[in-house]
Every structure is written in C-alpha cells, then in structure tokens.
Amino acid sequence: MNKNVERLYNGLIKENPTFVLMLGMCPTLAVTSSAINGLGMGLSTTVVLVFSNLLISAFRKVIPNGVRMPAFIVIVASLVTMVQFIMNAYTPSLSESLGVYIPLIVVNCIILGRAESYASKNPVIPSIFDGIGMGLGFTFGLTCIGLIRELLGAGQIFGFQILSLEWFTPITIFVMAPGAFLVLACLVAIMNIVRAKMEAKGKPLAAPSGCLSGDCSGCAQSAMCTGRSLSKEGAASAKATAAKNAANAPKTE
Amino acid sequence: MKELLLIAIGSAIVNNVVLSQFLGICPFLGVSKKTETAAGMGAAVVFVITISSFVTALIYKFILANEALMSKGIDLTYLQTIVFILVIAALVQFVEMFLKKNMPPLYESLGVYLPLITTNCAVLGVALTNVTKEYGILESVVNGFATAVGFLIAIVIMAGIREKIEYNDIPKPFRGTAIVLVTACLMSIAFMGFSGMI
C-alpha cells in the first residue's frame, strides 16, 4: 500500500484517536453536545494538526533536541491563534459555542503526541498525510458522539428535528454534562468488547495511549509530562524518587 | 466582597471545573485511585493554579493589554494563548525548583505531582477564562483558587468512591475506565443540583 494512503487509513481506522487510542478526551467530552459542534471542533483540530505536522517535520533538523517541546508548543500555539481568529471572523456562532475550547487545542494531546511520535522523525509529505488521517479520524469520532448525544438529547441531527416531539420526549440530560460522561463510558465499554473480540481473532487493536488508559507508559507525551503515571508501579517509583530527592536535598545545599 | 464570594462559589461548586467544564479530565481519571494521592494531586493543582492565575493576570494587565501601548495602537492581546502556555510551563518548573530548595517538606508532599500539571488543560483554561470574563487581578486569583478547590473536591470524592468500587462485581466490559466514567456521570448529576445556587 502507498505510504500516504497507509497513513490516512492508520489515522481514520487502525489507530483512530477517539475510538482506539482514546486521546484528546477533554474536547471529546466538552464540545460534543451537538453534531455540528463536534464537526467544527474536529475540523479546526485537523487544520492545526496538518499545519503543525507540516512545520515541525520541515524544521525537524533545525530544532535542537533539548528545546523541542517548547518549540513545538510555540508552533502549535501560533497555529491555534490563527485558527481562532479565522473562526471568529467567518463562523462567529460556532466559535462562540466552542468558546475556550478553541485555544485549548494547544494542550490537546493528539497534536503534541503526533508531533513527538511522528512528525519530528519523518519527512514532510507523510507527516501531512498523518495529520490529515489523524485529524479526520478525530473529526469522525467527535461527530459520531455528537450525533448520538444530539439525537437522544434533543431528537435532532445537525439541528434538524428527526424524532417528532409528538411521541419522543428528549432525554435532555444527554446534551448536558452528565450525558457526555455516560456516552463516553458506553463507548469505552463497547470498545473493550471489540478489543477482546479482535484479540481472540488474533488481530489485536492498538492499546489506548491517552490518559484514559490510566498508565502513561505508552503516552507520546511522557517526554514532556515527566511525572508519569502515579497509578500502579508509578506510585512506587514516584515515592522512591521523592525519597531520593529528599535525601539528596541536604547534599545539594 | 460579595462579588468575590459569588465568583468563588460559582467556580468551585456550581460550574465545577471537571464535572461541568471537562477540564483536567486526565489527572481526574489517572490519579484518582487512592484518596491519598488524589488529595496530593488536588493540593498541587490548587497551588499551581492560584499562582499561575496571579502571574497570567499580571502579564495580561501590564504587558499584553498595557494601556500605554494600547493608546499607541499596539494591541498585544492576540498573543495571549502563546504567552500563557509558555509562562505556565516555565512557572511550574520554577515553582518545583523553588520548593525543592526552600521548602523541602512541602516539596516532598507536592513535588511528584507538579510536572504532571504542566500539561493540564485546567491551568490554561483558567487563565483564558479570567481574560474572557474580564476579571481584575484579585478576581483572577480568587477565581483560580476556587476553580482548583473545585478540582480538589471532585478528585477526592472520586477517589473515595473508586476505593469502594474495587470490591464490587462489575460487568466485564465496564471494568476499568468505563465504570469510572459512569461514576463521573453520577457525580456530575449530583453537582447539577447546585446550579440554582447563583
């Protein structure tokens, strides 16, 4: 398979950031109260992701290894600011309903994760396709969750009344905060079943690598998030480091 | 005074940062297995968010939205996202070094959690909310502190519930993260009860 097509397939299906890798959960929960919000958030993240992958891959030999994280953050933050202003200008209602979550694309772990694990090691063209694949995968995930929540919570799809209010009482809680947690919980449970089935078939899915998995060993951001997980052995090693630091402290003084 | 109190109650309980704004979900799910670690994480978040909202409010007022510059037609407020994220990342490192050197007992209890917070979206979220709501410096600090206290409340309750869940017989697909999310959903419904308060 062509490498670029492979990247698209990888992002959309094999390592779908929402369903398989479970990355970027903050926006997934926050902006999926309707399908259009999910779509808007997904597309703006895609734009940032494609351009950040492009720039980081182009500059990968110039950026010194020691300061690569701050450099990536500056690149991503500049792109996010541009996207924010473009959305303010051309889609004011969408930008109002997404609010603070647009600037928060900066701390979305998909973007820095792809920068760290793919774009900083690969040539420009595959990096762009990686960004497109991952971005569209994320958009697809957000739109699906948005569709489910909007349909159950308001009987609408993209703002059109699908289920007649004459016989359907909207379950309003689905478009409010608790509904986000509930839909995501069901999604994680379904993915657990799918995962077990695929494993039985001998075709295991990629392990979830985001914060949802509860252990940061597979997280692409662990380079920046030096605290690692405090769960499992993380707690023990964290305590050991703290003890070591405490023991070292008098010496350094 | 009354306004500050309203801001504090509003951000700590009514619009809880985790349960209704979905910021800081990662530590909320990742570090809530034991009440002890959850309380440590919560305390570290309170510490960092309070300091960072003070510093970012200062930077916004005196550098980015500086009146002298504004009157000359130089508007730097568009730099807020870039400046805030870098300032927060540097600040957390600095706080860590300062605590290590000058307050070893505090560092021992908070130190391990500090690096985890750098990438926490709640910190940047609070700084940006302070700007959007046009809070002054005092209001920003109060809002930051209260938001972080809301996080502390949520993560400690969650850890308490999770310690009990460990012993329950949960359907297999729901084991692990899924049941934690269902718990978060129920907590979120409970916190919605506060929404009439303000």
> Hey, are the CB atoms on A192 and B192 less than 8 Å from each other?
no
Whether A201 is covered by a domain: the verdict is no
pLDDT at residue A230, as a whole number: 39
Among candidates A39, A51, A150, A40, which has minimal Cα distance to A96?
A: A40
pLDDT at residue A70, as a whole number: 84
Cα dihedral across residues A146, A147, A149, A153: positive or negative: positive
- Mean pLDDT estimate for chain A: 82
Measure B47 CA to nearest chain A CA, in Å.
17
**pLDDT tens for residues A147-182?**
999 999 988 888 888 888 888 888 999 999 999 999
**pLDDT of A229 over the 70 cut:** no
pLDDT at residue B195, as a whole number: 85
pLDDT at residue B26, as a whole number: 79
Name the band, by pLDDT with cuts 50, 70 and 90, for residue B118: low
pLDDT at residue B52, as a whole number: 92
Percent of chain A with pLDDT strictly greater than 70: 82
Pairs of residues, one from chain A and one from chain B, whose beta carbons lie less than 8 Å apart: 167
pLDDT at residue A52, as a whole number: 95
Is residue A96 located within the same domain as residue A179? yes
Is residue A130 located within the same domain as residue A65? yes
**pLDDT of A189 over the 70 cut:** yes
> How far apart (Å, rounded) are the C-alpha atoms in residues A28 and A130?
20
Name every residue whose Cβ is closer than 8 Å to that of residue A242 and which is 6 or more positions away in sequence. Answer: B108, B111, B112
Whether A37 is covered by a domain: the verdict is yes
pLDDT at residue B177, as a whole number: 85
Q: CB of B156 within 8 A of CB of B77?
A: no
> Hey, are the CB atoms on B82 and A81 less than 8 Å from each other?
yes
- Chain B residue whose CA is closest to A23: B26
- Mean pLDDT estimate for chain B: 87
**pLDDT of A194 over the 60 cut:** yes
Q: Where are the domains of chain B?
A: 2-196
For B193, the token pair is: 């009860």
Whether A20 is covered by a domain: the verdict is yes
Is residue A192 located within the same domain as residue A221? no
Whether A206 is covered by a domain: the verdict is no
**pLDDT tens for residues B8-50?**
999 999 999 899 888 888 788 877 888 888 888 888 888 889 9
Domain boundaries, position A241: 214-253
Among candidates B87, B118, B119, B46, which has minimal Cα distance to A210?
A: B119
Write out chain A residues lying below 8 Å of B121, CB-based: 26, 104, 107
Other C-beta atoms lying within 10 Å of the C-beta of residue B113: 23
**pLDDT of A218 over the 50 cut:** no
- A240 or B165, higher pLDDT: B165
Query: Which of B23, B101, B118, B121 is best to mutate for the A interface (most A CBs within 10 A)?
Result: B121
8-state DSSP, B10: I
**pLDDT of A50 over the 70 cut:** yes
Question: Which phi-psi region, left, alpha or beta, contains residue A169 (left: φ > 0; alpha: ψ -120 to 50)?
Answer: beta
Q: CB of B28 within 8 A of CB of B156?
A: no
Whether A209 is covered by a domain: the verdict is no
Write out chain B residues lying below 8 Å of A173, CB-based: 189
Closest Cβ–Cβ partner in B26, B119, B128 for A103: B128
**pLDDT of A234 over the 90 cut:** no
pLDDT at residue B77, as a whole number: 84
Whether A143 is covered by a domain: the verdict is yes
**pLDDT tens for residues B138-166?**
999 999 999 999 999 999 999 999 999 98
Name every residue whose Cβ is closer than 8 Å to that of residue A161 and which is 6 or more positions away in sequence. Answer: A155
**pLDDT tens for residues A63-116?**
988 888 888 889 999 999 999 999 999 999 999 989 889 999 988 888 888 888
**pLDDT tens for residues B159-181?**
999 999 988 899 988 888 889 99
Whether A73 is covered by a domain: the verdict is yes
> How far apart (Å, rounded) are the C-alpha atoms in residues A54 and A160?
37
pLDDT at residue A235, as a whole number: 43
- A210 or A69, higher pLDDT: A69
**pLDDT of A143 over the 90 cut:** yes
Is residue A21 located within the same domain as residue A76? yes
Whether A208 is covered by a domain: the verdict is no
A190-204, A208-222, B65-79, B158-172: which has the minimum mean pLDDT? A208-222
Closest Cβ–Cβ partner in A22, A29, A188 for B22: A29
ipTM score here? Answer: 0.88
First-to-last C-alpha distance (Å) of chain A: 59
Cβ of residue B188 closer than 8 Å to a chain A Cβ = yes
For B105, the token pair is: 């007992």
Number of folded domains in chain A? 2
- Chain A residue whose CA is closest to B174: A189
